[in-house]
């Protein structure tokens, strides 16, 4: 299990706390320092069952500068969104937890974190 976090984020700290309480084995990825490339973002989107615009923090200053709210949300624009996430990792919703069963969740609630735990062995 891996969790993508920003240590300054309260929801990330809460998710890590829940994983620790459960005794889960996991790897922390500080995705602002260890930025996922486009292929890694595509892979996590597949595990999440979401599109890139579903995990984009459109309220961030960088999102406003890029004008992402006005970008089309369709298959033709998908690569543009993924490139924006790889180029501007602050735009990636957090925390993202990849479970051992090949799925992933955006762990913004305790319930989502518990869901990831239920899908993992350790």
Active site residues: 9
Please, is 76 exposed, middle or buried when counting C-beta atoms within 10 Å of its C-beta (0-12, 13-18, 19+)?
Answer: exposed
- Does the CA dihedral 1-39-91-72 come out positive or negative? negative
Q: Which of 6, 9, 13, 54 is CA-nearest to residue 32? A: 6
DSSP letter assigned to residue 30: E
> How far apart, in whole angstroms, are the C-alpha atoms of residue 44 and residue 29?
13
């Amino acid at each position: 299990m891996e969790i993508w976090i920003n240590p300054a984020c309260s929801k990330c700290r809460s998710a890590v706390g829940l994983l620790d309480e459960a005794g889960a084995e996991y790897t922390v990825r500080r995705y602002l320092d260890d930025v996922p490339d486009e292929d890694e973002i595509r892979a996590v989107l597949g595990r999440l069952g979401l599109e890139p615009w579903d995990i984009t923090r459109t309220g961030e200053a960088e999102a406003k500068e890029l004008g992402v709210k006005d970008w089309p949300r369709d298959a033709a624009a998908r690569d543009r969104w993924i490139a924006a996430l790889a180029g501007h990792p602050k735009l990636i919703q957090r925390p993202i937890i990849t479970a051992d069963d090949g799925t992933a969740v955006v762990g913004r609630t305790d319930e989502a974190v518990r869901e990831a735990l239920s899908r993992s062995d350790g």
